[in-house]
Amino acid sequence: MLITLKKNQGLRLAILAAVVFFILTLMIGLHRHLTFYSSYDQGIFNQVFWNGIHGRFFQSSLSSQLSTNVVHNNELPEVFYHRLGQHFTPALLLWLPIYALFPNPATLTVIQVTLITAAGLVLYALARHYLEPSLAVMITISFYSAIAIVGPTVTNFHDICQTPLYVFTILLAMEKRWWWLFIIMSIILLAVREDSGITLFGIGFYMIASRRFPRIGLSVCIASFGYIVILTNLIMPLFSADISRRFMLERFGQYATGDEASTLEILWGMISNPLRLIFELFTPFFDTIEYLLGHWLPLAFIPAIAPASWLISGFPLLKLFLGKGESVLAITIRYAMTIVPGLFYGAILWWAGQGFKNFTTKLEKLKPRQLNKGFRRFWIFCLAISLCFALGDTKNRSLYFVIPDSIEPFVYVSLPQQWQRVGEIRSIIAKIPDSASVSATTYIIPHLSGRREIIRLPELKLKNDQGNIENVDYAVADLWRLQHYQVAFRHDLSRLKILVSLIDEISNDSSYGIVDFKNGVILLQKAADNNPEAIVAWLAFRQEIEGILSQTSQDNLSLANK
């Protein structure tokens, strides 16, 4: 006989699963950050929060460095740049009081893990609305084991980490007919990002298609679509031209004809070119199938036959499938989180008895499906495989000390080795005053991002609050990391060459002095005298990597293709 759980037992198991998930992902996420493996996005959000508690809401010099003015017009990063022109994220203000109490980039990791953990508990309550405790627990554990949840949770902080909690709360409010909560959470969801309206549109479309709440669903669809159009065409351009000149073209430039395009122009480009639309939707074919299988895996592939899963998640999926770029079909990257809530809600309704044939039948009249022993074993097997894929992903390097970054050629950093480097890096960046402007390499940026003026090397100039162009006070680079990884990663070799050339230039012309150097980590200060010991260490390291720097472009390409 199958194990049956009482109501309280089910809740206790769901809470236990939440606690285990919280502890493990928090440990992995914090360890990743503390050992200098969190990267640029962690720095961006930390600077946004830091500026926020100082009254400069959504400003970021790090975001400015990614803006169209810098990328396309070759302008300099600005400390007063408003990130809302890139991504409209006012919902982040909800967590500003917590950050004000603990102003540290690690706080963002704690917030992220907490939000995802809370989403799983709301999912349990949603599942219990229709299902027995044993099934609700299995669905909750599936959520905590999903590749698209575990992967983005242990990586850099991101705004989409709020989405599962808000969507599950919206769906629970819909089931309970708590329309006041439904409206509040819908507004908050829209405030997560400019594209959150696509997820809300999917919920409204389900409400119409299922005939459960057609009038409310129509209102939701109109409101969410109108919000996206007004926000991206009228409001965000007030802050910058990034939405039309950069982000629309980077993701959907294949549907545009000029150097910039609004969301309405991209939509018209899709509608007016249906053949390209179909081609983009199904290509790359095998990658698309693999992406869907990865999403279905933790639920034992039930979402593939659950109509509600297709209706709610279909629109966020279309956004990804119709776009371009490597990240759109990467299931361990944050964008995949937008797909998850609809899949899990659809699975709940399928177990409640819903299918394609009885989709419009009132749910109260359906007979819930039973979980037999054989399928339970298969489901548990799927969960194990899902966890292996989630934790085995090397893109975010959360478990770099367990899983080598490359096998051939072999690239691996051990735990003792990296923790020794942590002490060396921290001793160097401790010499940078909190008020100083700084330029740093990618993985050092998050630890220095709680300041007004910070950019990424090799850039050394920015515009300050007075609009004046100035050189940063300090530059710090982890060259050992690039040296270690360049054997397998072409971009690291390119960055190493660029940075060494820059250091040679600015130290030789005395615009910057080398004030410290430890194990491949260098600190330079503007208009400072060279530290003799640091110079000796730097020249020895420079000689050590001379063979790497002299490699031809063809050699680099061969290494990258190994």
Mean pLDDT (the chain, rounded): 93
Taking only the tens place, the pLDDT of each residue in 259-277 is 788 888 888 888 888 888 8
State the pLDDT at residue 101.
98
Q: For residues 27 and 49, what is the distance between their CA atoms, to the nearest angstrom?
A: 22
Of 388, 390, 393, which is closest to residue 403 (Cα–Cα)?
A: 393
pLDDT classification of 560: cutoffs 50, 70, 90: very low
CA distance 418 to 194: 38
User: 561 falls in which pLDDT band (50, 70, 90)?
Assistant: very low
Q: The tokens of 409 are what?
A: 């050629």
475 beta partners: 439, 524
| DSSP tag of 161 | G
Residue 2 has pLDDT above 50, yes or no: no
Q: In what order do the strands lie in the sheet with 454-456?
A: 454-456, 438-440, 474-478, 521-526, 512-518
Residue 448 vs residues 109, 359, 403, 436, 480: alpha-carbon distances, Å = 16, 53, 28, 10, 19
Q: How many CB atoms lie within 10 A of CB 82?
A: 19
Tell me the sheet residues that pair with 26. none
**Distance set, CA 492 to CA 38, 155, 400, 550, 560 (Å):** 16, 20, 17, 15, 10
Residue 476 has pLDDT above 80, yes or no: yes
CA distance 259 to 90: 28
pLDDT of residue 283: 86
Q: By three-state DSSP, how is residue 9 classified?
A: helix
Pairing outcome for strands 474-478 and 512-518: unpaired
Number of Cβ within 10 Å of residue 262's Cβ equals 17
Check residues 96 and 73 and name the one with the higher pLDDT. Answer: 96
What are 398-439's pLDDT values in tens digits?
999 999 988 888 999 999 999 999 999 999 999 999 999 999
| Helix (H) / strand (E) containing 477 | strand 474-478
The structure's pTM equals 0.94
Instruction: Decide if 455 contacts 507 (C-beta within 8 A).
Output: no
For 93-150, how does the pLDDT look when each residue is reduced to its tens digit (9 = 90+)? Answer: 999 999 999 999 999 999 999 999 999 999 999 999 999 999 999 999 999 999 999 9
DSSP state of 522: E
- Per residue in 431-448, pLDDT (tens digit) is 999 999 999 999 999 999
Helix (H, G, I), strand (E, B) or coil at 154: coil
CA distance 23 to 449: 26
**Average pLDDT in the 13-23 region?**
97
Name residues whose C-beta falls within 8 Å of residue 321's C-beta, 6 or more positions apart in sequence: 280, 281, 282, 288, 328
Q: Tell me what pLDDT residue 556 has.
A: 45
**DSSP string for residues in 304-343:** GG-HHHHHHHHHHHHHHHTS-SGGGG-TTSGGGGGTHHHH
